[in-house]
Amino acid sequence: MNKIKYIAAVLIAIAGLGFQQAQADLGPVTYFLTPHPIGSPTDDTNFLIANFGQESDLTSLFKLNSDGTTAGSFGSFFTITVISASDWMVSWNLTGSGFTLESILIKDGSPAHSGGQQLYGFYPVINNEGTIGAGTVQFSGTVGGFNITGKAISFIEFFGSPTTAVPDGGTTVMLLGAGLTGLGLVRRFLKH
């Protein structure tokens, strides 16, 4: 009976490893100014591909304007909490969407405070694949000689890339090793 308890414990531990989901984070923000608004979600996507090294299959998944209007069909995968006009918390769970989150773009809606230019903030997604994650977006510091701390966010836009069927090698190897170790332990206990 004691052997069965050990076997059950090992199998439960192996199953637990398989259910863990790594969480992604937002990387350091890059603020930038443009002489005019970039434009539509398609224009925003092309701008990020051309200027921030994003992959060519980048897609605008969802855009929320501060007035509540939206663009994109993936809004149900995102949670946005407006703490203040300049400080928004975001989380995402793209499980089952066919996409991973690659980056987030925010924009300030008051060009008069940026010397007549448009102010944006680009946040890359880091630490594991961007299926599940959370972070805070905001304007702070200076850009082009202008203090941008506390500038209001006029929109937030989420960009993703299609997921591929290729599993993560490191995680797959770790789970395979844990499973084989568990089977070896089970076999050992059953022989004795």
pLDDT digits (tens, 9 = 90+) for 142-192: 988 888 998 999 999 999 999 875 445 555 555 556 666 766 666 666 666
Which tokens is 51 given?
């200027």
**What are the pLDDT digits (tens) for 116-153?**
789 999 999 997 677 999 999 999 999 888 889 989 99
Q: Residue ranges per domain, the chain?
A: 23-166
Q: Mean pLDDT, the chain, as a whole number?
A: 83
**pLDDT > 80? residue 25:** yes
Q: Kindly report the backbone phi and psi dihedral angles of residue 58, in degrees, each rounded to the nearest multiple of 5, phi listed first.
A: -60, 140
How many CB atoms are closer than 10 A to CB 159? 29
Q: What mean pLDDT do residues 43-56 have?
A: 95
How many CB atoms are closer than 10 A to CB 27? 15
